[in-house]
């Protein structure tokens, strides 16, 4: 244990030193973060599309689009001999089709298309990729590629993509690598270059890569020292255990206290939160017959947290109220009416710290009160 404590003390010093260095160099200023550009897919789609445009205000014509295709080829997402004509290239965002909106679509005069479905935290709609694929087959025959863009390159759900061919791409690798190529291309244009750099830094924060390269190098060297190897691997082996301990032994009791205060019942149970699909917290209102308040992580690893209403028993439905709840909440499907959980959609280190210092449970209390308020006149 002394070995581990000594290593942790050294890590704290490295982080503290680099944090002070970042503050002195004003590296914490980021206009995308200030404007709240985090989980809004439409905003990210607009930013990406603007850089891809051959007539974009960046002024680099088709160079950024070519760099995007080059990265896809280098990462073996598309074949090396794939050829996409730049003749009459047009890029659309939120293209309305009969049964949906395509986030980004790139077309040309040769009737080719590159289609990007952009998912930051939102869940898939029923047969979403299937509908987009069918639309493209009608418009472009076989001359299109369908990409599914998420923070970490996740697969689309079966309900969206069954029997559909699509390619997974990620912000964490593909988009950041492409944007870094664009930085090289725009090196002599300070405004474009610095805008790209700020967006890259923002994406790195969203994908947990915001540690600067010097700090990363310093930590790797420290962890790789012979004297630290045993402690390093022992810590790594127990990371998920630490996360589960904080949720099971710290947060669940906090949530129970809030529920007691509000006249509710916390029916959540201890589990392996990190590795369980659709893990979430469940809250029962003794006055409600049909519904409960729930949160859920849509992806393993404590990612994509949502909060809202669903049925106590999926077999016993009350559609009249459920339709009202769908209208009141931002998002819905056949079983849920929900919104993205505020501030901590992905439960990273900052989220875990907020549990320990009591901030997270205060957010939950506020959100639960809001849900109780909007549902107070409904038969629940």
Structure tokens, 204: 């790195």
Pairing of strands 167-170, 144-150: parallel
pLDDT of residue 33: 65
For residue 291, give the nearest of 262, 258, 325, 261 by alpha carbon. 325
pLDDT of residue 14: 52
pLDDT of residue 62: 95
For residue 290, give the nearest of 315, 307, 269 by alpha carbon. 315
Collect the ranges in the chain with pLDDT lower than 50: 21, 24-26
pLDDT of residue 354: 93
Structure tokens, 53: 């445009």
pLDDT of residue 120: 80
- For the question of whether the overall pTM of this predicted structure is more than 0.75, the answer is no
Burial string for 147-177 (b: 16+ CB within 10 Å, else e) reads bbbbbebbebbebbbeebebeebbbbbbbbb
DSSP letters spanning 301-340: TTEEEEEEEEESSTTS--HHHHHHHHHHSSEE-SSEEEEE
């Amino acid at each position: 244990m002394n070995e581990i404590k000594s290593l942790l003390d050294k890590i704290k010093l490295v982080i503290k030193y680099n944090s002070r260095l970042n503050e002195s160099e004003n590296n914490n200023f980021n206009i995308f973060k200030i404007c709240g550009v985090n989980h809004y897919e439409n905003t990210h789609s607009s930013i990406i599309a603007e850089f891809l445009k051959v007539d974009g205000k960046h002024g680099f014509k088709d160079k950024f689009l070519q760099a995007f295709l080059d990265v896809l080829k280098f990462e073996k997402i598309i074949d090396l001999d794939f050829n996409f004509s730049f003749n009459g290239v047009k890029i659309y965002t939120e293209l309305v089709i009969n049964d949906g909106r395509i986030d980004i679509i790139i077309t040309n005069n040769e009737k080719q298309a590159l289609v990007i479905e952009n998912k930051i935290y939102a869940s898939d709609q029923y047969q979403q990729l299937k509908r987009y694929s069918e639309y493209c087959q009608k418009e472009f025959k076989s001359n299109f590629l369908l990409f599914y863009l998420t923070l970490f390159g996740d697969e689309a759900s079966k309900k969206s993509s069954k029997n559909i061919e699509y390619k997974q791409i990620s912000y964490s690798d593909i988009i950041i690598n492409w944007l870094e190529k664009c930085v090289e291309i725009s090196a002599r244009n300070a405004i474009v270059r610095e805008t790209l750099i700020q967006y890259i830094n923002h994406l790195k924060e969203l994908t947990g890569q915001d540690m600067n390269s010097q700090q990363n190098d310093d930590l790797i060297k420290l962890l790789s020292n012979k004297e630290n190897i045993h402690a390093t691997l022992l810590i790594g082996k127990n990371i998920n255990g630490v996360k589960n301990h904080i949720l099971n032994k710290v947060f669940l009791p906090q949530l129970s206290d809030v529920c007691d205060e509000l006249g509710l019942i916390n029916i959540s149970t201890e589990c392996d939160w990190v590795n369980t699909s659709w893990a979430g917290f469940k809250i029962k209102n003794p006055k409600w017959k049909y519904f409960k308040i729930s949160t859920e992580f849509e992806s393993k690893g404590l990612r994509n947290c949502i909060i809202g209403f669903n049925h106590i028993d999926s077999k016993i439905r009350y559609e009249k109220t459920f339709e009202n709840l769908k209208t009141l909440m931002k998002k819905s499907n056949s079983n849920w009416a929900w919104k993205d959980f505020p501030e901590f959609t992905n439960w990273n280190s900052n989220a875990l710290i907020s549990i320990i210092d009591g901030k997270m449970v205060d957010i939950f209390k506020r959100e639960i009160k809001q849900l109780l308020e909007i549902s107070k006149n409904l038969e629940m």
